[in-house]
Chains A and B, each alone.
Chain A
Amino acid sequence: MTLFNILMIAVACLLGVGLYGLLITRNLIKIVVVLQLLVKSVVLAFVLAGKVSGHPGIGESVAATVIVADTIVAVVALALAVQVRIRFGTLDIPKISSLRG
């Protein structure tokens, strides 16, 4: 078992957990957490891609940038979740859907 294989399995697992989590999660805060897991698998994939292709510098610098960009999305999503909690009194998705069609 080389480091490469371990990383590969980690990417696949995180991606699987992220996608599965999106399907079953109903709480807004948990959805933000699941989204983070999904993106972290992509970050790991970039580090791996840099290693595989022989340009580790590119992969790692991209990974660092993605962490920043992704944090901003998480902050925005959490801010919205706070507003949802204030206005609707719940974070449960089925209870806040009013728009149809």
Chain B
Amino acid sequence: MNIPMFTLLVGIPLVSSPVVYLFGRLTTRAQVLTRQGWIVRFLALLAVAATWFPFVNLWLEFQAGGRRMFFNIESIWLQMDGISFLLAAMVLTLGTLAILFSGRYMAGDFGEEKYYAMLLAMIGLMIGLGCANDLFNLWVWFEAMAVSSYLLVAFYREQPGSLEAGMKYVVQSAVGSALALLGVALVLAQTGTLDMDQIRLMVGTMELNQVGLLAAGALFFIGFGVKVAMVPLHTWLPDAHSQAPSGISAMLSGVVIEAGLVAMLRALSTLTGYSLSWGWLLLAFGALNMLYGNLLALQQTQVKRMLAFSSLSHIGYILMGLGIALVSGQPAGAQGASFHLFTHMLMKGLAFLAVGAVMYALFHEQGIHRPLVAHDLNGISTRYPWVALSLSIALLALGGLPPLAGFMSKWQIFVAGFQSGDGWLMGFVVFAAVNSVISLAYYAPLVNRMYRRVTARSVKKGSASISWTLQLPLLLMALAVVVLGLFPSLMNWLTEPAGAALMSIFK
């Protein structure tokens, strides 16, 4: 039997999700007292590692052939372009590392098999989301991804905080997706089709009801904007990111909100014929996100909550890069934004996982469940030197210190803004640079705490060392952050097609 590569790319994680769950259940039933958790962990890791095989194959095909590839699963047609590959690469990289990390972190937790099953499903659905070729299909992937993330956010269901965060997330996200769906209905009423290419063509050439299209654009912006956490619509994010298990926090912050952004861009791109001013809107929301995220992050005492607010400001940089590209019509901004999407995934994923490793050593192993506050980081470098080192690299890279990856990706966006020669765009870039400096005000003190303060009492009570299975993903990511900072052109193979694809759908 000859299964197409694309079906494998989406199919392996989706099919292995129920398989992992069943194996987990069956082995638990057989021996009630000794849970065979390693089977579940191993299967999950195997599934995500196997997904790399179709990805690499498709990538080689993409590079050798034309610029876009089309595939069908029965009568549903999907596409693979630069954006799909960028999203798939991000999801697979972080997914592999998060599953590797969770092996020890989630070991013995109640319902471990459900955790891996939902995580694998989320990985497959996000890869599919990037490949959607029609508006309704896009919404279905989006909604399915959202459902799997609701369950993961509320995973610690005995914790009041995570239940509350999960409930907030479900309600806000459900309203958002209902509004986005209404936008799809408006577009369908105008054009009679759901195929994105056809809609783009019709909006550009035919006389359609302008009010209807404007309303559809606004609904896409608001509806998908809830998932992207654009500032007035962000209130679910700090709760969800800080209450979820650390592996999931990394996934949520590193790829899920970015997947929402991809969905929003794909939907908005169908309406470019109607108006090209979406770019200015993205710039305005980008600036708002940066400022608000930074100011709120400054006030936080819980480390994971601070990182969640810093995600808001990083989404701001990405929105600004995209806005610069759309306003100036140059692909440099889009390429910079794609690069920042990738580096943010690495840096924020690393930061959340490193914080998770500290939480595991200080609290989880002692059976305590409480949030990690900044004070708990005091002097951890003496006990957990590698974790402290990788967390410091992540924080300094997030703050944009050269020569780390975060600096390089921000730099690409800033250069794109200045090269456009537009006074307003330069103004936005200066604003972003100021924000980047503000953000160091909450990243740098944490590094100071880890290395220069007297060891906190909670750290002294923590376990003596951190297992290597927890530290390995951290060190790999820290290495990647440093290497990408020194050689940013290493990622051009991924970001260049993504930038070009973004420019071509917004033409």
The chain A residues found within 8 Å of chain B, CB to CB, are 15, 18, 22, 28, 31, 35, 38-39, 41-42, 45-46, 48-50, 52-55, 58-59, 62, 65-66, 69, 72-73, 76-77, 80-81, 83-84, 87-88, 96-99, 101
In the assembly, what is the distance between CA of A98 and CA of B165, in Å? 10
**Known A48-B189, A49-B188, A62-B136; contact A97-B164, beta-carbon cutoff 8 A:** yes
Query: Is there contact, CB below 8 Å, between A83 and B143?
Result: no
In the assembly, what is the distance between CA of A72 and CA of B148, in Å? 10
Instruction: Look across to chain A and name the residue whose beta carbon is closest to the beta carbon of B188.
Output: A49
Which of A31, A45, A87, A101 lies in contact with B182, CB distance below 8 A?
A: A45
Q: Which residues of B contact A31 (CB under 8 A)?
A: 171
What are 27 sample pairs from A and B whose C-beta atoms fall under 8 A apart? A31-B171, A39-B174, A42-B178, A42-B182, A45-B189, A46-B185, A49-B186, A50-B188, A52-B189, A55-B192, A58-B192, A59-B188, A62-B136, A76-B147, A76-B151, A77-B167, A77-B171, A80-B150, A84-B167, A87-B160, A97-B164, A98-B160, A99-B164, A99-B238, A99-B242, A101-B238, A101-B300
**Known A42-B182, A98-B164; contact A69-B140, beta-carbon cutoff 8 A:** yes
**B296 interface residue (CB < 8 Å to A):** yes
**B369 interface residue (CB < 8 Å to A):** no
Query: Is there contact, CB below 8 Å, between B192 and A98?
Result: no
In the assembly, what is the distance between CA of A78 and CA of B157, in Å? 14
**B48 interface residue (CB < 8 Å to A):** no
Query: Is there contact, CB below 8 Å, between A83 and B163?
Result: yes
Query: Is there contact, CB below 8 Å, between B305 and A46?
Result: no
Query: Is there contact, CB below 8 Å, between B181 and A73?
Result: no
**Known A31-B171, A96-B160, A101-B238; contact A45-B185, beta-carbon cutoff 8 A:** yes
A18, chain B: closest CB distance, angstroms: 8
In the assembly, what is the distance between CA of A83 and CA of B150, in Å? 14
A45, chain B: closest CB distance, angstroms: 4
Instruction: Look across to chain A and name the residue whose beta carbon is closest to the beta carbon of B150.
Output: A76
**Known A50-B188, A65-B140; contact A35-B299, beta-carbon cutoff 8 A:** no
In the assembly, what is the distance between CA of A87 and CA of B181, in Å? 33
A70, chain B: closest CB distance, angstroms: 8
Q: Which of B191-230 contact A (CB under 8 A)?
A: 191-194
Q: Which residues of A contact B194 (CB under 8 A)?
A: 58, 62
In the assembly, what is the distance between CA of A48 and CA of B181, in Å? 14
Q: Which residues of A contact B188 (CB under 8 A)?
A: 46, 49-50, 53, 55, 58-59, 62
Query: Is there contact, CB below 8 Å, between A73 and B157?
Result: no
**B56 interface residue (CB < 8 Å to A):** no
Q: Which residues of A contact B164 (CB under 8 A)?
A: 84, 96-99
In the assembly, what is the distance between CA of A54 and CA of B188, in Å? 10
**Known A49-B185, A49-B189, A101-B296; contact A69-B175, beta-carbon cutoff 8 A:** no
Which of B181, B191, B300 lies in contact with A39, CB distance below 8 A?
A: B181
Please provide the 5 A-B residue pairs with the shortest distance between their CB atoms, ordered closest to farther: A53-B192, A49-B189, A45-B185, A49-B188, A49-B185
Q: Which residues of A contact B151 (CB under 8 A)?
A: 76
Query: Is there contact, CB below 8 Å, between B190 and A69?
Result: no
**Known A58-B188, A65-B140; contact A28-B167, beta-carbon cutoff 8 A:** yes
Q: Which of B143-157 contact A (CB under 8 A)?
A: 143-144, 146-147, 150-151, 154, 157
**B81 interface residue (CB < 8 Å to A):** no
Known: A53-B189, A72-B147. 15 other contacts (CB 8 A): A28-B167, A38-B178, A42-B181, A45-B182, A45-B189, A48-B185, A49-B185, A55-B188, A58-B192, A59-B188, A76-B151, A76-B170, A99-B165, A99-B239, A99-B242
Which of A15, A69, A101 lies in contact with B143, CB distance below 8 A?
A: A69
Q: Which residues of A contact B242 (CB under 8 A)?
A: 99
Query: Is there contact, CB below 8 Å, between A101 and B299?
Result: yes
A26, chain B: closest CB distance, angstroms: 12
**B243 interface residue (CB < 8 Å to A):** yes
B66, chain A: closest CB distance, angstroms: 29
Which of B154, B174, B181, B193 lies in contact with A35, CB distance below 8 A?
A: B174
